[in-house]
Amino acid sequence: MPFPEIRLRRLRRTESLRALVRETSLDPGDLIYPLFICPGEGVRNPISSMPGVFNLSIDQAVREAEEASSLGIGGLLLFGLPDSKDEKATGAWDDNGIVQRALRALKQNSAAKKLVLMADVCLCEYTSHGHCGVVLQSGDTYEIDNDPSLELLAKTAASLARAGADIVAPSDMMDGRVAAIRRALDADDNTNTPILSYASKFASAFYGPFREAADSAPQFGDRRSYQMDGANLREAMREIELDLVEGADMILMKPAMPYLDVVHAARERFGVPIGAYQVSGEYSMLHAAFEKGWLERDRTMLESLVGIRRAGADFIVTYFAKDAAKLL
């Protein structure tokens, strides 16, 4: 029957009614909090383009993890700022590297070890040139050499798993990296370590603030020859399918808000756990609007996260994790 017999507003009259029929839920356990780990002790350096986000020494990262655990947050995603960089990203796969040391410290903390500890697997923070793989350069021309990069990525994943990572998360977008990592993990007796593949990571303008946070900006060129073209949805589905065939256990979409159609298409097509990364630019642009008074902070923050969940993400990597968990 049409109006006036049918009135959809009947179920919107009170908060209790709205809660009863709400289709999408958001809980602290759905949130993953990224941390940027740097050398030193007692270090808590603010990142100018990301209000409320810091480069943290390991002792400070443990304190953040304790708070995240107390808030019921699902886990952490760890990035490292090494003591030094070189062309082979030695700090990424060094068993005494910055993230490896952080993982061991977190696993020794009773509160922190309740969290799922995810370790980003990439080379860009550790290479002197800032690219995500081995660079072949001749004069003014260069190429990211895919196959030699796989060996370094596999060594990195194996080292992180040995240090205590519950999940390794390759974000480099080299072809074949998931299979190489799976072989390395299995050969190292870490058959139970899952791989969360950044299966469709787009070459996005929304990563700008992250490059300050992780000190990972390319020293020349850009990453468009290996990260995905933002115009391509069908190609994203091919990337995901190939990563799953190679052995990925979970997939991650990046960025989130400008690519909700990709999240939704993946959810409709693949029956695996799916995450979405609300990246630095998304976080920073919302904060800029909060500071101007143009958007209401709490409502906007939660609405952005609910929208990502509604599109199909099972979990969300977000710098809002602590603030959102406190509200929830």
Q: Is the pLDDT of residue 136 over 80?
A: yes
- Distance, in Å, from the CA atom of 159 to the CA atom of 88, rounded to the nearest integer, reads 15
Residues 118-131: what's their mean pLDDT? 92
DSSP type of residue 320 = T
Burial class (CB in 10 A: 0-12, 13-18, 19+), 82: buried
* pLDDT per residue as tens digits for the range 59-76: 999 999 999 999 999 999
**Amino acid at the residue 72:** G
Among residues 85, 155, 254, 322, the one annotated as catalytic is 254
Among residues 85, 155, 201, 322, the one annotated as catalytic is 201
Q: Is the pLDDT of residue 312 over 80?
A: yes
Let me know if 254 is a catalytic residue: yes
Question: What is the Cα 322 distance to its own chain's centre?
Answer: 15
**Which SS3 state, helix, strand or coil, does residue 266 take?**
helix
Q: Which pLDDT score, from 0 to 100, does residue 98 have?
A: 97
* pLDDT per residue as tens digits for the range 20-43: 999 999 999 999 999 999 999 999
**Which SS3 state, helix, strand or coil, does residue 129 take?**
coil
Let me know if 201 is a catalytic residue: yes
Q: Which pLDDT score, from 0 to 100, does residue 224 have?
A: 85
* pLDDT per residue as tens digits for the range 260-280: 999 999 999 999 999 999 999
For 230, 257, 309, the CA distances from 201, given in Å and listed in that order, are 9, 13, 18
* pLDDT per residue as tens digits for the range 282-309: 999 999 999 999 999 999 999 999 999 9
- Distance, in Å, from the CA atom of 193 to the CA atom of 103, rounded to the nearest integer, reads 14
What would the 3-class secondary structure string for 191-255 be?
CCCCEEEEEEEECCHHHHHHHHHCCCCCCCCCCCCCCECCCCHHHHHHHHHHHHHHCCCEEEEEC
Q: Is the pLDDT of residue 130 over 90?
A: no
* Confidence band for 138, pLDDT divided at 50, 70 and 90: confident
- Distance, in Å, from the CA atom of 61 to the CA atom of 101, rounded to the nearest integer, reads 11
* Third-level CATH fold of 29-327: TIM Barrel (3.20.20)
Mean pLDDT of the chain: 95
Residues 232-258: what's their mean pLDDT? 97
**Which SS3 state, helix, strand or coil, does residue 176 take?**
coil
Residues near 308 by beta carbon (within 8 Å), at least 6 away in sequence: 256, 257, 260, 263, 276, 278, 316
Q: Is the pLDDT of residue 223 over 90?
A: no
- For the beta carbon of residue 44, count every other beta carbon within 10 angstroms: 15
